[in-house]
Amino acid sequence: MAFMLPAIVQAVKIERPKTEIWYPSVTGFQNAQAGGAVRHAIREEVRALAASQGSLADPRSEMIGWFETKTNEKGVFSLSLFNYAYTGGAHGLTLQKSLTFSLAAGRRYGLAELFKPGSPYIAVISELIQAQIARRDVPVLEPFKSIRADQDFYVADRSLIVYFQLYELTPYVYGFPYFPISVYDLQQIVNEDGPLGPMLVND
């Protein structure tokens, strides 16, 4: 695999009354069209997260957004966008949405596309998460059965990190429950042309 330069990530701020959102502007692409696609997808997700929080009409309300880069190597760019809003009530709510791209093509990948077509990725990942829940004694709201076909994830440190939103699996006080899964535990079903493929290479 030819070496590919990492993307250049610069923080950009959106500031409005009661609102401060930081998001990444990603440049340095060899393919301008790919870069445009990545930037567009990120901006749209930032807007969608903010919109899903609802109205900031309450005088006490506020919204803060930020991001974390998870992977920026081997032609793969994976990040998480966060949005916290207080709109009234006992406490605010933080949402997280992650995006994973091919830097060469600017293509965004869903969870199913990380694996070979027809592979039992839902069952495989669910079994690994079930084992972690038991081993780590994760306090679930109800017995865990399976991930969704489009479960939230990002790629980091040669691992697939599958996670759940607040209240989706665990009590609010637990925060976001993350389940790191080594790419080597998924090797038999990984789509080698997708974002996990380069992570399998020992270089």
Which pTM was predicted? 0.95
What domains are there in the chain, each with its CATH number?
Answer: 1-108 (3.30.565.40), 110-203 (3.90.640.20)
Residue 94: per-residue pLDDT? 97
Query: In the sheet where 153-156 sits, what is the strand order?
Result: 153-156, 159-163, 178-182
Q: Could you say which DSSP state residue 88 is in? A: S
pLDDT tens digit sequence for 23-43? 999 999 999 999 999 999 999
Complete DSSP assignment for 128-164? HHHHHHHHHT---SS------TT--EEEETTEEEEE-
| % of the chain at pLDDT higher than 70 | 99
CB atoms within 10 A of CB 91: 8
Read off the pLDDT band of 2 (50, 70, 90): low
Q: 25 has which bridge partners? A: 10
Question: Mean pLDDT for the chain?
Answer: 96
pLDDT tens digit sequence for 51-82? 999 999 989 999 999 999 999 999 999 999 99
Residue 88: per-residue pLDDT? 82
Read off the pLDDT band of 1 (50, 70, 90): low
Helix/strand/coil for 46: helix
